[in-house]
Structure formats: C-alpha cells, structure tokens
C-alpha cells in the first residue's frame, strides 16, 4: 500500500522504510507458515491431533487452575482459622496481664507490656519461628510500641489496619508482603483490641504464610506436570487412534487414484470384521462393478465406433452408384415435367447432405480410433478466413446476413493444418449465418507472440446458461424446432472441437439469450506449444461494455 501523495516527504520516507521491512517480515512468515498450512489442509491426522491437544489443554488447564486455586484457598482458610483461634487466646492472656494496671500512666506498664510481648512470642516458637508479635497503644503516645522480634513492621501494620483496630475497636486482618529480616515474606496480619482498666491497647499478630505458599506451589507444580503429561498422553492416544482410521482411508484414496488412472484390477486388503473391513469390502465390490461396467462400455464403444466406420465405408459404394444416376437425372431435369424436375433437385440436395453426413461420420471414426493426424505447415491465416467468407457469402445473402471481416493488414503466420482450420471456420461461420437472425456476423482475427485467435460473433438467438458446453456434443442443436438453412449434419462443431484439440488449441463458446453468441478458436503459433492465453476475449467487447 503506497503512502498518500499529499503527505510530506519526511512522513512518507519512514512509511516506505516500514513498508519495506514489513514485506521482508511477511515473506519470512509466509515461508514459515506455508508448510504448516499445507499440513493442516492435507492431513486429517494433523487436524484431529491438533484439535485434541487444544481442547484437552483448555480442559486440563481450566481444571488444574480450579484445583490449584481451591487448594490455595483451603490452605489460607486453615491458616486464618488457626491464627484467629491463637489470637483470641493471646488477647485473653494479654488482657489478664494488663488489667493489674489501673491507668496508662503507671510506671510499671511499659515493663508489663514488654514482658507480655515476650511471653506471647515465646509461646509461638514451637509453631513458627517467623511469627511477629506487636503491642501498640495509639491512644497513649507515651507508651512506645513493643515488637518481638525487633523488626520494622511499618509495611505489615498499615494505617488502614491501625484505624480499624484502634479507632473502630474491631478485629481486622489483611495479607501483606514485606521484607522482614532480609527476606521478602508474605504475612497474615491480625489486629485486635486488648481491653484493660485504662482503656485498650492493640495486639498485632503476624504469621508468615511460607508453609502455605510452599504447599500451594507444590500443588500447582504437581497439577501442571500432571496436566502436561495428560495432554501429551491424550495427543499420543489421539494420534494412534486417528492413524488406525486414517490409514485405511489413505489406502482407499491411493487405490481410487490407481483405479482412476486405469488400473482396474486394484483392490483394498480386507482384514477383520469391523467397520473398516466392511468399508474395504464395499470398496472392492464397487471397484469390481465399475470394472465390469467400464469393460462393457468400452466394448460397446468399440463396437459402436466399428459399426459407424463399417457402415460409413459400406455406404460409399451404393452412394457412388446412386450419385452417378442422380447426376444424370439432374443434368436432364429441364426435359422433365416440373414435378419430376423438382424431385430431381430434391434428390440431388439430399444426396449432397447424405454424402456430407458420411464424410463427417468417417472423420469422427478416425478421431475415435486415434488415427487423425495433423499435417501442420506454416500458413497465412488471413487468406483462409477470406476464402471461407467468400464461399459462404451466397448463403449469407440469401438469409440477409452481412459478413464483416476484421483482419490485420499484415500476414498472420502460424504452424497449422490449413485444411482442418478452414473446416473449423466453415462450420463456425455457417452456424453463425444460420442463427444470425438477419443481423451482421463479425469475423475477427488477432495474434500475439504465442497464439492466434479467431472469433465468430453473431447477434441471433444466443445460448442459454450451460449450453456453451453442450454445443460441441454430437448431434446437439440449440433449437430443434428451427428450420435449417445449411442442411448440417449435427457433427460440425464436434469435429471442429476435435480439430482444435489436435492442434493443441481451444474451441470455446459464449452466448446469452437474445444477445447472440461468439465462438473463439485459439491455436498456438508454433505446433506443440502450450497455450496460456488468447489474443481475443471470449466474451465480446460490446457485451463487456454494456455490463460495465
């Protein structure tokens, strides 16, 4: 995508650099992802295993997360229950110790608080050496906080917790992570007011969650390893199961390919009595039936081609005799009665048509038998087109059709069989004149370095959708009810298509109801070359202009 022209050069230059780098990255990504996409499209086993891995990973991951989260919550709740119960005992014991002092200004109170904190801390040493106990008196600034061990609890005892305990007078808790004793540790911090005769002080009990975190991490690691092993195992199982199903399918595909290549004796191996064995047996039965049908059809086709060829040859001899008699009668028709003279003319016309039919049948027989040969030579196609137009001018004038030639001024030389090309053009132009509905017929010739194309365009009844493929079938007519002007045999376009294929070219048709039809003959300039494109479009330019 180009940068807009209205952008300044200082903006367009970075955009060009980005676009160039993006093309490099995109090309590398394409080289990397192309084999992956190819494997995904072509391998059923890859798709099944991949989908199994994705689905099992989601399920196992969700289940593992739920188990790990639930386990961590259970461990935390158990720690909270234990700490809460221990805190209640400590509050009762601390209250008993502090009740002996009637007022906060008692000189012995700081010593009592210090001893109480030490006693509370020593009582927890058997449980967890990381416990921290602190007593504060926010209402009595003259009483300094007492903390055992002597660590900084500023990050553990937050102002929010102090406000809940000292001001609101309730038990509060929170989980805090702080660096204590040179280590970053997660603590469960509880705070509770301790009643006394002079008011109350706050007791803060901080228990590390190291054991619970370690247990939760072990659970998560165990779930992760187990889930990963389970996903891999599911992938292996899916691959093995899919292989059991895909292998017979691949064998069936290869066997079908061999059958389509003409190796009709290929069969699948039947093993066991399961569904796959049933599939193989059914496939073999189908292949056997197809083989019998194909052999029978080939024999029928061979007999049909032989019958057509034999009949065509056998009819030549009586036709020659009848032709001689008919020519004699036709030459003397002026001496007969008008009715007899008309009969002689009809006889001559029908003999011409019958002779043309035999000629076409013999030509079709040669194509069917594979005996048709191309007599290619370097030929100028312009005189051939002119000669075909001149020979059909009389017919065109009788039906009111004008033949319009669009030929280059220079010779168009191609390596073709002139007799076959002239026959193709004669059939195409004859059909266009017959179906032209008294409208002009354009014959266009064009060439390039590799191919030469001739189009014949009429503006008659046209073709319905799908008929552009049927017009080359033998004895097919677009409108059987129409009276024929040319007396064709119904084999002209079939022979023309065979002539085009013999040249290595194309014969194509386009048509639309009420808009006429166009036939395009495309031949390679050099015999044996492969066609890639045609110099002329199949859809007429006037039709393209109307659509656009």
Q: For residue 29, give both structure tokens.
A: 């990504």
Q: What is the mean pLDDT of residues 503-521?
A: 91
Query: How does pLDDT run across 61-81, given as a tens digit for each residue?
Result: 898 889 988 998 999 899 899
pLDDT tens digits, 81-95: 998 998 899 999 988
Residue 465: closest CA among 417, 404, 523, 510? 510
- pLDDT, tens digit (0-9, with 9 covering 90-100), for 160-200: 988 888 888 899 999 988 887 677 888 999 999 998 888 88
Residue 433 and residue 396 in contact, taking contact as beta carbons nearer than 8 Å? yes
- Better-scored residue on pLDDT, 357 or 529: 529
Neighbouring CB atoms inside 10 A of 117's CB total 19
User: For the purposes of burial, counting CB atoms within 10 Å of the CB of 57, is it exposed (0-12), middle (13-18) or buried (19 or more)?
Assistant: middle
DSSP sequence for 157-208: S-HHHHIIIIIS---EEEEEEEEETTEEEEEEEEEEEEEETTEEEEEEEEEE
What's the rounded Cα separation, in Å, for the pair 496 and 421? 8
Task: Show the tokens assigned to 147.
Answer: 């903390």
Token pair belonging to 493: 């376009």
- Averaged confidence pLDDT in the chain: 82
Block residue for tokens 């859809």: 539
| 441-485 per-position pLDDT tens digit | 999 999 998 999 999 999 988 888 888 888 888 777 655 554 444
Q: What is the DSSP string of 243-277?
A: HHHHHHHHHHHHHHHHHHTT-TT--PPP-SSSHHH
Give the pLDDT of residue 246: 79
- Whether 436 and 518 have beta carbons less than 8 Å apart is answered as no
Strands 183-196 and 172-180: antiparallel
pLDDT of residue 11: 66
pLDDT tops 80 at residue 233: yes
pLDDT for 351 equals 79
Q: Which has the minimum average pLDDT: 88-92, 146-150, 349-353?
A: 349-353
Q: Is 222 exposed, middle or buried (0-12, 13-18, 19+ CB in 10 A)?
A: middle
Would you say how long the chain is, in residues?
548
Can you give the pLDDT at residue 488? Answer: 55
Instruction: Examine the pLDDT at 486 and tell me if it is beyond 50.
Output: no
One DSSP character per residue, 282-333 reads HHHHHHHHHHHHHHHHHHHHHHHHHHHHHHHHHHHHHHHHHHHHHHHHHHTG
- Work out the percent of the chain whose per-residue pLDDT is above 90: 20
Confidence of residue 294 (pLDDT cuts 50, 70, 90): confident
Residues 6 or more apart in contact with residue 124 via CB below 8 angstroms: 86, 131, 133
Which residues make Cβ contacts (< 8 Å) with residue 70, sequence separation at least 6? Answer: none
Residue-wise DSSP of 371-433: ------EEEEHHHHHHHHHHHTHHHHHHHT--EEEE--SS--EEEE-HHHHHHHHHHHHHHHH
Task: Please report how many Cα atoms fall inside a 13 Å half-sphere around the Cα of residue 229, on the Cβ side.
Answer: 6
Beta bridge partners of 201: 194
Give tens-digit pLDDT for 411-452. Answer: 999 999 998 899 899 999 998 998 888 899 999 999 998 999
Q: What is the pTM of this model?
A: 0.48
Per the listing, tokens 């780098």 go with 21
Task: Specify the higher pLDDT residue, 317 or 207.
Answer: 207
């Amino acid at each position: 995508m180009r940068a807009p022209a209205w952008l300044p050069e200082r903006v367009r230059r970075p955009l060009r650099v980005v676009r160039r780098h993006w093309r490099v990255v995109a090309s590398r990504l394409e080289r990397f992802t192309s084999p992956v996409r190819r494997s995904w499209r072509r391998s059923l086993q890859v798709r099944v295993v991949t989908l199994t891995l994705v689905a099992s990973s989601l399920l196992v991951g969700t289940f593992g997360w739920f188990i790990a989260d639930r386990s961590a919550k259970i461990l935390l709740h158990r720690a909270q229950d234990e700490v809460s119960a221990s805190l209640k005992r400590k509050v009762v014991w601390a209250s008993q110790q502090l009740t002996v002092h009637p007022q906060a200004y008692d000189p012995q109170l700081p010593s009592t608080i210090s001893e109480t904190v030490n006693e509370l801390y020593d009582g927890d040493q058997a449980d967890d050496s990381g416990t921290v106990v602190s007593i504060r008196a926010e209402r009595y600034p003259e009483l300094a906080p007492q903390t055992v061990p002597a660590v900084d609890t500023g990050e553990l005892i937050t102002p929010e917790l102090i406000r809940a305990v000292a001001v609101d007078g309730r038990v509060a808790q929170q989980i805090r992570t702080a660096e204590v004793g040179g280590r970053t540790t997660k603590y469960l911090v509880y705070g509770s007011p301790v009643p006394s005769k002079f008011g109350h002080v706050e007791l803060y009990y901080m228990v590390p969650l190291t054991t619970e975190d370690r247990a939760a991490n072990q659970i998560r690691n165990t779930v992760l390893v187990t889930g990963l092993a389970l996903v891999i195992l599911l992938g292996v199982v899916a691959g093995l199961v899919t292989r059991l199903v895909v292998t017979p399918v691949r064998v069936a595909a290869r066997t079908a390919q061999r059958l389509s290549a003409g190796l009709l004796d290929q069969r699948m191996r039947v093993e066991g009595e399961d569904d796959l064995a049933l599939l193989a047996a059914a496939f073999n039965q189908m292949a056997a039936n197809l083989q019998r049908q194909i052999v029978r059809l080939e024999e029928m086709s061979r007999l049909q081609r032989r019958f057509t060829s034999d009949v065509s040859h056998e009819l030549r001899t009586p036709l020659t005799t009848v032709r001689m008699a008919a020519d004699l009668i036709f030459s003397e028709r002026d001496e007969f009665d008008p009715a007899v003279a008309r009969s002689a003319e009809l006889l001559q016309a029908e003999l011409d048509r019958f002779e043309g039919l035999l000629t076409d049948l013999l030509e079709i027989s040669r194509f069917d038998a594979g005996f048709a040969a191309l007599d290619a030579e370097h030929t100028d196609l312009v005189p051939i087109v002119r000669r075909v137009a001149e020979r059909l001018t009389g017919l065109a004038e009788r039906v009111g059709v004008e033949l319009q030639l669009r030929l280059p001024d220079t010779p168009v030389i191609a390596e073709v069989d002139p007799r076959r090309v002239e026959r193709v053009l004669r059939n195409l132009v004859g059909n266009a004149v017959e179906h032209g509905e008294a409208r002009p017929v354009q014959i266009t010739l064009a060439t390039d370095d590799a191919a030469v194309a001739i189009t014949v365009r009429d503006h008659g009844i046209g073709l319905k959708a799908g008929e552009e493929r049927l017009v080359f079938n033998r004895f097919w007519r677009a409108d059987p009810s129409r009276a024929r002007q040319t007396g064709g045999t119904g084999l002209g376009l079939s022979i023309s298509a065979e002539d085009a294929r013999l040249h290595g070219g194309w014969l194509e048709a386009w048509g639309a109801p009420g808009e006429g039809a166009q036939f395009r003959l495309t031949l390679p300039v050099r015999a044996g070359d492969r066609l890639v494109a045609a110099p002329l479009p199949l859809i007429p330019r006037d039709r393209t202009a109307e659509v656009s």
